[in-house]
């Protein structure tokens, strides 16, 4: 039997409203939410009841070393509700003494007192969804908060970290949003580092089906940075953060020494994790399972899971190892890259097949190695920074083509 998962993701789907780029499984509740007694509280409490049922339905529990409360906007919840959630894990799974317990917070959805309440509930790391410090860019993206909300949130989080009340915190920005040209993006980065967040996540804007942005693109009404400006933005990210002491340890993530996200490394390292909540995806034994994205269907699934344990992907069994192409894809996201021989040996190929398939992959990667988008040191391959990481899709597409061909 494989070891039990030591990480759990919890999805809190509630938001005040849906941002124009968002296609997550969320439930917009409006601006005047009071999750304990007031407006929206009935919806929130009902969801939490089903979420707790799902958490308790797991038969093979083990102490957790990381918990990540994401969304949505988890900071819509009252600190008492966050404490109830963390206590549920503590009492039924156990939580390691040095566990990393992260919660996503959204500017303008919490205050300093709430932050103290979340910390008392057991949260020791926060991820702030700032996206930008520019009011025009925030408005164009459908964000509810303003620059001053982001700045206040950063000040509060910095104080908690400097005083030792939390272990770390992260600031999230989105690169290449509408109106975010080279100057605007550099201003965002320079403003971000004035708060010295130990961790910074830089996400590239992607236009997803069903979003407001997708509709505007289809109508020809959304102007995005050109490919040239987008690449220059990426170069600015690399230069400004590197010169400020940040190391890029994953394609979208930078940190100061000792502040990598332990929870997210579980995903990229191909380890197993629990996941709970509407629309979330778990992979405790290597096989992925995504819960229904719609509230009614999620609740029906939880009832079946709780009463009948109907989903086999959540039962304790031998680990189903990921396909080689997925292992390579996940591994190349990380700064240290992959040991190709080690991954190939896990396929149990005969020597002749091993050499033949490796030769074919190296042929696919020949041009990337020559242009130094991809770097080889012995058996280890990794993406160059920043060029290789920015153009990683080209390298991965060639790898997926290789995988299709040999299969």
Token pair recorded at residue 183 = 């100057």
Between the two ends of the chain, the Cα-to-Cα distance in Å is 28
Average pLDDT over residues 163-167: 98
Which pLDDT does position 147 carry in this prediction? 98
Least confident range from 8-12, 186-190, 373-377, 385-389: namely: 385-389
Q: Mark 252-262 as b/e (b = at least 16 C-beta within 10 Å).
A: ebbbbeebbbb
Of 209, 301, 266, the C-alpha closest to 68 is 266
Interior angle at CA 25, CA 103 and CA 16, nearest 5: 65
pLDDT at 320 over 70: no
Mean pLDDT rounded to a whole number for the chain? 93
Higher-scoring residue by pLDDT: 266, 227: 266
Which pLDDT does position 114 carry in this prediction? 97
| Interval 60-105: pLDDT, tens | 889 999 999 999 999 999 999 999 999 999 999 999 999 999 999 9
What CATH topology corresponds to 324-406? Arc Repressor Mutant, subunit A (1.10.10)
Pairing relationship of beta strands 253-255 and 199-204 according to DSSP bridges: antiparallel
- What are the distances in angstroms from CA 280 to CA 3, 37, 175, 263, 298? 22, 27, 25, 15, 10
The strand ranges marked E within 243-330 are 247-250, 253-255, 274-276, 281-282, 289-290
Q: What is the DSSP letter of 133?
A: S
Token pair recorded at residue 241 = 């953060």
Pairing relationship of beta strands 27-28 and 199-204 according to DSSP bridges: unpaired
Token pair recorded at residue 79 = 């600190």
Which pLDDT does position 1 carry in this prediction? 42
What CATH topology corresponds to 7-268? TIM Barrel (3.20.20)
Phi and psi based region of residue 176 (left: phi greater than 0; alpha: psi -120 to 50; beta: remaining): left
Which pLDDT does position 321 carry in this prediction? 61
Which pLDDT does position 305 carry in this prediction? 84
Under the banding of pLDDT at 50, 70 and 90, the label for residue 312 is: low
Which pLDDT does position 286 carry in this prediction? 79
Token pair recorded at residue 189 = 């980065």
Contact 146, 133 (CB under 8 A): no
| Interval 335-385: pLDDT, tens | 999 999 999 988 888 899 999 999 999 999 999 999 999 999 999 999 998
Average pLDDT over residues 275-293: 91
CB neighbours of residue 219 within 10 Å: 8
By percentage, how much of the chain surpasses pLDDT 70? 97
| Interval 21-58: pLDDT, tens | 999 999 999 988 889 898 899 999 999 999 999 999 88
Least confident range from 140-144, 301-305, 337-341, 352-356: namely: 301-305
Which pLDDT does position 376 carry in this prediction? 96
Task: Indicate the helix (H) or strand (E) that contains 179.
Answer: none
Domain segments of the chain as ranges: 7-268, 324-406
State the DSSP string of 259-271.
---HHHHHHHTT-
Average pLDDT over residues 303-320: 70
By percentage, how much of the chain surpasses pLDDT 90? 80
Which pLDDT does position 269 carry in this prediction? 84
């Amino acid at each position: 039997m494989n070891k039990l998962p030591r990480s759990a993701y919890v999805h809190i789907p509630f938001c005040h409203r849906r941002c124009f780029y968002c296609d997550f499984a969320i439930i917009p509740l409006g601006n005047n939410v009071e999750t304990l007694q007031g407006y929206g509280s009935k919806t929130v409490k009902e969801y939490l009841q089903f979420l707790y049922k799902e958490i308790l339905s797991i038969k093979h529990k083990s102490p957790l070393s990381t918990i990540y409360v994401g969304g949505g906007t988890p900071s819509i919840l009252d600190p008492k509700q966050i404490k109830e959630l963390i206590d549920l894990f503590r009492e039924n799974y156990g939580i390691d003494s040095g566990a990393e317990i992260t919660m996503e917070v959204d500017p303008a959805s919490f205050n300093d007192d709430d932050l103290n309440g979340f910390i008392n509930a057991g949260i020791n790391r926060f991820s702030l969804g700032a996206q930008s410090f520019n009011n025009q860019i925030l408005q164009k993206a459908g964000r509810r908060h303003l620059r001053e909300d982001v700045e206040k949130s950063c000040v509060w989080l910095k104080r908690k970290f400097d005083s030792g009340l939390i272990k770390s915190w992260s600031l999230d920005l989105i690169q290449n949003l509408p109106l975010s040209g080279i100057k605007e993006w550099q201003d965002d980065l320079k403003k971000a580092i004035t708060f010295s967040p130990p961790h910074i996540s830089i996400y590239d804007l992607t236009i997803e089906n069903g979003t407001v942005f997708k509709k505007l693109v289809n109508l020809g009404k959304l102007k995005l940075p050109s490919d040239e400006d987008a690449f220059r933005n990426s170069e600015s990210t690399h230069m400004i953060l590197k010169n400020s002491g940040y190391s890029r340890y994953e394609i979208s993530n930078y940190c100061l020494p000792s502040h990598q996200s332990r929870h997210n490394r579980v995903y990229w390292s191909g380890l197993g994790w629990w996941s709970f909540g509407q629309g979330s995806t778990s992979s405790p034994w290597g096989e992925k399972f995504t819960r229904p994205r719609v509230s009614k269907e999620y609740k029906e699934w939880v009832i079946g899971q709780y009463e009948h344990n109907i989903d086999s992907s959540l039962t304790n069994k031998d680990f189903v190892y990921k396909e080689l192409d997925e292992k390579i894809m996940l591994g190349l996201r990380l700064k240290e890259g992959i040991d190709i021989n080690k991954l190939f040996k896990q396929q149990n190929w005969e020597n002749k097949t091993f050499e033949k398939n490796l030769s074919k992959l190296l042929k696919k990667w020949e041009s990337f190695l020559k242009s130094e988008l991809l770097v080889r040191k012995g058996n280890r391959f990794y993406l160059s920074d920043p060029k290789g990481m920015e153009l990683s899709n080209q390298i991965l597409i060639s790898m997926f083509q290789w995988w299709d061909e040999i299969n």
